[in-house]
């Protein structure tokens, strides 16, 4: 096995289009809910009304980040 073999790096792209190393952005998102570059709010909370009942929904973009493989 070649110890100098290139490894695949996982790059994650936030909804604001900034890209980060996987470990870096996951560590950041455990502490903050914003993009470290532009402070885009990566947690959205909203309410919807269905049949006279109000539901509160929350989307956490940590689960929705796009994954790109860097060769």
Q: Which parts of the chain sit beneath pLDDT 50?
A: 1, 68, 70-71
Residue ranges of domains in the chain, CATH in brackets? 9-70 (3.30.40)
Say what the pLDDT of residue 38 is: 95
**Is the pTM above the cut of 0.75?**
no
Of 46, 33, 71, 3, which is closest to residue 14 (Cα–Cα)?
33
Say what the pLDDT of residue 49 is: 83
Q: For the chain, give the mean pLDDT.
A: 77
Taking the CA atoms of 35, 39, 45 and 48 in sequence, report the sign of the dihedral they define: negative
């Amino acid at each position: 096995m070649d110890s100098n073999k290139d490894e695949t790096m996982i790059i994650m792209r936030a909804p604001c289009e900034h890209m980060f190393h996987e470990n870096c952005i996951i560590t950041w998102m455990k502490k903050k809910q914003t993009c470290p570059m532009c402070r885009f709010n990566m947690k959205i909370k909203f309410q919807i009304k269905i049949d006279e009942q109000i539901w509160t929904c929350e989307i956490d973009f940590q689960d929705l980040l796009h994954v790109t493989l860097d060769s």
